[in-house]
Amino acid sequence: MNDIHFCLDNSPQFQMLELEEVTSTNDFLRDYHPIREQEITLVTAEYQTTGRGAGDNHWESDKGENLLFSLLVHPRHIAAPEMFLLSEVLALAVKDGLEENGKGTAFSIKWPNDIYYKNQKICGLLIENELQGKTIERCIMGVGVNVNQTRFHSDAPNPVSLAQILGMQVERRFVLEDIMKHFTRYYAWTKEGRNEELHQMYLAHLYRKGETHRFQDKTGVFCGTIVTVEPTGHLIIRDEEGEQRRYTFKEVEYLGK
């Protein structure tokens, strides 16, 4: 395991731990308690034996092909009801990092925080918050980015990698450096009170926002239009009758046009 410290521009310093193989980088950080607390800890792995996506889905990644990493932060300045801000920070950072390496390719954020190229998923995020009182004591953010894998063996419906998009292999470290550059910058914004600015940036890149599509919730299938996402993370969809429906994660499913 390599232990490195970085500081990008005037953003917060972060510690980086490089692992060869681990059950998952989130698992590693869940049990990681250094003697001296770091503001941001980044853990990377070449391979995860039990890497997870949202909802306990397995995140497929061939060894050494993609970016598998987790971040540990201590955002005590963020109140518990505002925890979705951390999802916005991470999603924006990954999107921007991919675009810097994508030769003009645009990416979008599928609510709550997957990263999409057109209608294909290139990145999944898994965020775990540990609360203490009214604030967030620890936040572990797991990230899986499809970088160089070109064959996917699972039954995931729509995976894509940066190499498939560009038609060439990509240096993974450059992608990680750009993601961390944006993450440390946006995370600093949360300490500066620039929460609304971050929220509006998130909304500007929201997948399918303003489009009419079919959705399914506990009442059945309906057509609706994504109106917005609230700062709390709730998705607002306006159905064909003009009624606005409000959802938390996993309460509604996209079905397409």
pLDDT in tens, 75-86: 999 999 999 999
E strand spans, the chain: 2-6, 14-22, 40-48, 67-73, 108-110, 114-117, 120-132, 135-145, 212-217, 220-229, 235-239, 244-247, 253-256
Candidates 148, 188, 192; CA nearest to 167 is 148
Q: What per-residue confidence (pLDDT) applies to 4? A: 47
The band of 88, judged by pLDDT with boundaries at 50, 70 and 90, is very high
Domains and CATH numbers, the chain: 2-204 (3.30.930.10), 212-256 (2.30.30.100)
Question: For the segment 130-147, what is each residue's pLDDT rounded down to a tens digit?
Answer: 999 899 999 999 999 999
Question: For the segment 198-245, what is each residue's pLDDT rounded down to a tens digit?
Answer: 999 999 999 999 999 999 999 999 999 999 999 999 999 999 999 999
Spatial separation of the C-alpha atoms in residues 172 and 153, rounded to whole Å: 21
72/10: higher pLDDT: 72
57-71, 150-164, 209-223: which is most confident = 209-223
Question: For the segment 5-60, what is each residue's pLDDT rounded down to a tens digit?
Answer: 445 555 567 788 999 889 999 999 998 888 888 889 999 999 888 755 444 454 55
Cβ atoms of 226 and 236 closer than 8 Å? yes
Instruction: Note if the bond before 34 is cis, omega within 30 degrees.
Output: no
Q: What per-residue confidence (pLDDT) applies to 54? A: 44
Q: What per-residue confidence (pLDDT) applies to 59? A: 54
According to DSSP, the β-strands at 14-22 and 40-48 are: parallel
